[in-house]
């Protein structure tokens, strides 16, 4: 079964959920704020997709960090920041069991 990771009030997540539901594609939604986020799952995202694909450095959350938090960014430091502030993670992340897809692009989403 598909699993979508994100935050329910995110516009991209809303669009992706609406798209899946309109096509009656079954999925489970994992909300970081409600269901939590553990280091193992986040590290899996980073390992599979790369840090640049997972960490949203153009987000409001990123801009609100102080310079010390943003400087000397290592993969480990970035993971710790994302665990502390899940809104730093690009959304949604869709897991179909074989691949991870970041963001909402209907051309990349499964059709059944």
- pLDDT tens digits along 26-75: 999 999 999 999 999 999 999 999 999 999 999 999 999 999 999 989 99
pLDDT at residue 41 in the model: 95
pLDDT at residue 1 in the model: 87
Residues recognised as catalytic:
10
End-to-end C-alpha distance for the chain, whole angstroms: 11
Is the domain spanning 2-102 CATH 3.30.365.10? The answer is no
**pLDDT, the chain, mean:** 94
pLDDT at residue 7 in the model: 95
Among the listed residues 82, 74, 97, the one whose alpha carbon sits nearest the alpha carbon of residue 37: 82
Among the listed residues 11, 15, 7, 24, the one whose alpha carbon sits nearest the alpha carbon of residue 110: 24
* 112 pLDDT above the threshold of 80: no
Calculate the CA 35 to chain-centre distance: 13
């Amino acid at each position: 079964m598909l699993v979508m990771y994100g935050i329910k009030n995110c516009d991209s997540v809303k669009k992706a959920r609406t798209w899946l539901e309109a096509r009656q594609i079954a999925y489970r939604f994992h909300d970081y704020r409600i269901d939590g986020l553990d280091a193992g799952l986040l590290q899996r995202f980073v390992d599979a997709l790369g840090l640049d694909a997972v960490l949203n450095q153009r987000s409001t959350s990123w801009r609100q960090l102080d310079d010390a938090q943003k400087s000397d960014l290592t993969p480990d430091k970035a993971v710790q920041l994302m665990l502390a502030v899940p809104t730093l993670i690009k959304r949604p992340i869709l897991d179909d069991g074989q691949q991870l897809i970041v963001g909402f692009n209907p051309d990349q989403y499964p059709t059944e």
